[in-house]
Chain A
Amino acid sequence: MTALTLTNVNKSFGNVHVLKDISLEVDEGEFVVFVGPSGCGKSTLLRVIAGLEDASSGEINIGGQQVNLVPPSKRGIAMVFQSYALYPHLSVRGNMTLALKQEKQPKAVIEERVANASRMLNLEDYLDRYPSELSGGQRQRVAIGRAIVREPKLFLFDEPLSNLDAALRMNTRIEIANLHRALDASMIYVTHDQTEAMTLADKIVVLRDGRVEQIGSPMELYNNPANQFVAGFLGSPSMNFLPEGLLGEGQYTIGIRPEDLFLSDDGPLSAHVSHVEKLGGDTNVIAKIHGHAVTARLFGQHSISEGQELRFAYAEDKAYRFDTDGQRLR
């Protein structure tokens, strides 16, 4: 069964067409990540699904029921916000129980769900504290707990990690992945961070300018990008694009991932090293090929220094070709 189906959803604010004809399916228990640069409409799409914005046209189905006219609280969803959005005047327990009290759930049910959620998120010691007395990571866990207790058909996460520092972000990312496994719930997660997208998703939806660029599993998108945008967006460091004519190959751009470039004394690409990043496990070489910057990611440690001349080679089956519109040529 599908947890969410969008059919030709459009959204305009006045004359600005923000979401353009978006159709998409989320299966039961699937973890779907919306990813794209800022301003691509991913948050707006999430808000349309949540019912905080009305779709201008198109159909939204959650759990087999059309919900275009259903208010947010009755859609069977729960949302975790980037800014946490905890109720300042309520304790952690109050924050988690408010929605259940609104639904008039019996006391025993509320108690049990709060106990379960707080055990899962290690919040048991903080139930009587107020949001102002919690750290950033704890606040984010409370926000997630507030979503869990509702036992929704669909979880919506709006960039939940972007307010956390790097170390905490990684921990929380793993926690969210574990949570998804434990709850076996359908989740939609919005982020602009491709690492989060790659590590968490069962399915990634890449958005640009309000349009779906490509949908697929992380590895599908990585290995088989439909166009230059998707190829460049996923992967870090991002794919190198050598403009047409640089290799004397004709009217298309060649894309090569940094890890697919390797050193070879008789390689076709002669490069002038402009910067070297030594990471211990990897070495990133930023070099100029005919004045065009490329990044090569070499495994292990190499004694390469700035100013050196190198020759790179690549395997023909690892090179992607894109036409002038950015579409992939196969």
Chain B
Amino acid sequence: MNKARQNPFNTAAMHGALILYTLIALFPVFVILINSFKTRRAIFREPLAFPNTDSFSLIGYETVMNQGDFFLYFQNSMIVTVASLFFILLFGAMAAYALSEYQFKGNLLMGLYLALGIMIPIRIGTVAILEMMVATGLVNTLWALILVYTAQGLPLAVFILSEFMRQVSDDLKNAGRIDGLSEYTIFFRLVLPLVRPAMATVAVFNMIPIWNDLWFPLILAPAEETKTLTLGSQVFIGQFVTDWNAVLSALSMAILPVLILYVIFSRQLIRGITSGAVK
């Protein structure tokens, strides 16, 4: 083991820095969580205090449950996020495989074209997208959001995944070809499992912005039955009066599913059975 890691001072400093960072990162979440369980007056009087018997209140959660169809919003957000991630990973991986595995005319240009989207924010095209959605009758459907988010996520996915796929051993793919596997089987059964850590990275990168996005739901799907969680929570924020209890409760509940998805994907980051295939 290297010497720097054994030195107790270095170890302490390293842990200290990481703990500090964790505290800073978690502080806003912590404040949201404790305040969501307090009365409105307690939130403003002592924002950093824990809820006690006096200040404890579930009024925020009650408001959220009673007003608006919170579970529908929740479900909409979930459908949009999961479906978008699925399409980003599927199409992104397929495009990346084609770019990295097959030699064809314009391979490099195609790669650059697909990566161009990283540099151009998709929101610039909002008006055009809205016109397109109106023309195709997709306004106020979840499909409008799924399609836009898939388009938004693909460039980075193709870029990252094609780099990783170049590293997958050619011998392994060739062994599959000699054993009579089709190109699709080689892709799904041999290559995808080996780039799973990269897929998880892409999923995590894309998941949070999609879940938190307010822009496109507001523009493309503001109808009651297609509202996402972020958009749905906006009803509690008014120009003059904001129902802080409800906002904080809604936010607390919105954290949970992202947390669960994150845990699922981050487990994939650990390389397990993939080692030992090729030397």
Is B78 at the interface (CB under 8 A from chain A)? no
A77 to B177 Cα, complex, angstroms: 11
- Which listed residue (A73, A74, A86) contacts B278, Cβ 8 A? A86
Cβ of B180: which chain A residues have Cβ within 8 Å of it?
Answer: 73-74, 99, 102-103
- Verify if B179 is at the interface (C-beta below 8 Å from A): yes
A81 at the interface (CB under 8 A from B): yes
User: Is A185 close to B, CB under 8 A?
Assistant: no
Decide yes or no: A133 and B276 within 8 Å by CB, A83-B169, A85-B171, A85-B172 being known contacts. yes
Contact B276 A130 (CB under 8 A): yes
Shortest beta-carbon distance from A224 to chain B in Å: 36
Asked if B277 and A88 make an inter-chain contact with CB atoms under 8 angstroms apart, the answer reads yes
Let me know if B179 and A102 touch, CB within 8 A: yes
Number of A-B residue pairs, CB cutoff 8 Å, is 87
Minimum-distance CB pairs A-B, first 5:
A132-B276, A73-B180, A88-B277, A99-B179, A85-B171
With an 8 A cutoff between CB atoms, is B85 at the interface? Answer: no
State whether A81 touches B194 (Cβ < 8 A): no
Say which residue of B177, B178, B190 sits within 8 Å of A87 (CB atoms): B190
Inside 8 A of A73's CB, which chain B residues have their CB?
A: 177-181
**Residue in B189, B194, B277, B279 whose beta carbon sits within 8 Å of that of A136 in the complex:** B279
Given A83-B278, A132-B273, 8 more contacts at CB 8 Å? A81-B175, A83-B172, A85-B172, A85-B277, A87-B175, A88-B193, A102-B179, A133-B276
Cβ–Cβ contact A86 & B277, under 8 A: yes
Selected A-B contacts with CB under 8 Å, 29 pairs: A50-B178, A73-B178, A73-B181, A79-B175, A82-B171, A83-B169, A84-B171, A84-B277, A84-B278, A85-B278, A86-B175, A86-B278, A87-B172, A87-B189, A88-B194, A88-B274, A88-B275, A89-B189, A89-B193, A98-B179, A98-B181, A102-B179, A102-B180, A131-B276, A131-B277, A132-B275, A132-B276, A132-B277, A163-B279
Q: Please, how many angstroms separate the alpha-carbon atoms of A133 and B272 in the complex? A: 11
A135 to chain B minimum Cβ distance, whole angstroms, is 10
Is B174 close to A, CB under 8 A? yes
In the bound complex, residues from chain B placing their C-beta under 8 Å from that of A93 are none
Contacts of A103 in B (CB 8 A): 180
Which residues of B sit under 8 angstroms from A247, Cβ to Cβ? Answer: none
Q: Mark B179-213, 1 if CB is under 8 A from A, else 0.
A: 11100000001100110000000000000000000
Contact residues of A between 100 and 146, Cβ < 8 Å to B: 102-103, 130-134, 136, 139, 146
Contacts of A131 in B (CB 8 A): 276-277
Residues of A within 8 A of B174 (CB): 47, 50, 52, 72, 79, 81, 85
Give B residues with C-beta under 8 Å from A: 169, 171-172, 174-181, 189-190, 193-194, 273-279
Q: Is the CB of B171 within 8 A of A77?
A: no
A interface, CB within 8 angstroms of B = 47, 50, 52, 71-74, 77-79, 81-89, 98-99, 102-103, 130-134, 136, 139, 146, 158, 163
Are B273 and A130 in contact, CB atoms less than 8 angstroms apart? Answer: yes
User: Contact at A77–B178, with CB atoms within 8 Å?
Assistant: yes
Give the distance in Å from the alpha carbon of A84 to the alpha carbon of B276 in the complex.
10
By beta carbon, the residue of chain A nearest B178 is A72
Cα separation A84 to B174 with both chains bound (whole Å): 11
> Are A83 and B179 in touch, CB under 8 angstroms?
no
Q: In the complex, what distance in Å separates the CA atom of A87 from the CA atom of B171?
A: 11
Q: How far, in angstroms, from A72 to B178 measured CA to CA in the complex? A: 5
A283 to B7, CA, bound (A): 51
A100: shortest Cβ distance to chain B, in Å?
Answer: 9
Residue numbers in B under 8 Å from A99 (CB-CB):
178-180
Output the least CB separation between A161 and chain B (Å): 12
Contacts of A102 in B (CB 8 A): 179-181
* Distance of A53 from chain B, by nearest CB (Å): 10
Which of A79, A88, A139 touches B273 (beta carbons < 8 Å)?
A: A88
Q: How far is the CA of A76 from the CA of B194 in the complex (A)?
A: 28
Question: CB-CB < 8 A to A81: which residues of B?
Answer: 171, 174-175
Residue of B nearest to A147 (CB): B178
| Smallest CB gap from A90: residue in B | B189
Q: How far is the CB of A191 from chain B (nearest CB, A)?
A: 16
By a CB distance below 8 angstroms, the chain A residues around B275 are: 88, 132
Chain A nearest CB from B102 CB (Å) reads 13
- A103 to chain B: closest residue by CB: B180
Of B177, B178, B276, B279, most buried by chain A (CB within 10 Å of CB) is B178
